Amino acid sequence: MLAACTGPTLALAPSPHADLSGHWVLDPAASDDTRAALKHALPAHDPTPPPPRPQPSVFDDNAPPPPPNRGQHGQNQQQQQQQVVVVDDSPSLPLAQRAALAMGYVVAADRIEISQTPQDFRLEQGERRRDFPASDEPVAVTDRYGSRTVRAGWKGDQFMILTSDHSRLSVEESYRLGRDPDTLQVEVIYSGERIKKVHVRSLYRRSSSAAPASDVVGPPQGGPR
């Protein structure tokens, strides 16, 4: 079993057996509009950060004089004034970067290629390629969006990918065969910083062959792992 730092416990193999290998093509009519869902979840803009609180210098002639000492009561008032802190609640990433990060997970690729063996699960979604060796250990990923922890494995007959940075990002992806074994159901639950929670489902149908690289359309190249 994979160590469960967060989320469900994941297994190294499906139970019952399930093979998701194949070339899969998105069925837009049977899927959520993932772009519209993400657009609805994103804010129009980030709030303006508060201005920095001025800190008078000891050499500043314009600095207000300290309040007169009025005994213990005066000392308490002075301590309360010194404890006032202006908190900058600005997001750690600008809106454009947060949108690009979310897009890599939420927006459904037109095609998915899956290669599954007992030792490895390889997932290709357009230009985005991810490889998950069967392992008990989570994987640390660092890129231009920051650092994240990725866990992958099986929960019953569905392959799950759990991504978290323990503070501003939580993503749950699941891949499983539909009632028709020639369909693939993909579900993504995305919670990000200053973004409404997004829950989308997509349906893919089995294709006889992979599409030429020029025909593949999906999340932008270099998307998050």
Q: Which domains does the chain have, with CATH numbers?
A: 22-44+99-215 (2.40.128.20)
Instruction: Answer whether 109's CB lies under 8 Å from 26's CB.
Output: yes
Q: For 102-130, what is each residue's pLDDT tens digit?
A: 999 999 999 999 999 999 999 999 889 99
Taken in order 154, 160, 165, 169, the sign of the CA dihedral is: negative
Reported as a single tens digit per residue, the pLDDT across 137-177 is: 899 998 888 899 999 999 999 999 999 987 789 999 999 99
The pLDDT of residue 42 is 92
pLDDT at 39 over 70: yes
* CA dihedral (111, 115, 121, 122) positive or negative: negative
Tell me the average pLDDT of the chain: 82
What pLDDT is recorded for position 1? 38
Instruction: Say what the pTM is.
Output: 0.74
- The residue ranking higher by pLDDT, 220 or 38, is 38
Q: How far apart are CA 161 and CA 104, in angstroms?
A: 14
Residue 213, pLDDT > 80, answer: no
Q: Would you give the DSSP letter of residue 159?
A: E
pLDDT above 70 covers what percent of the chain?
Answer: 71
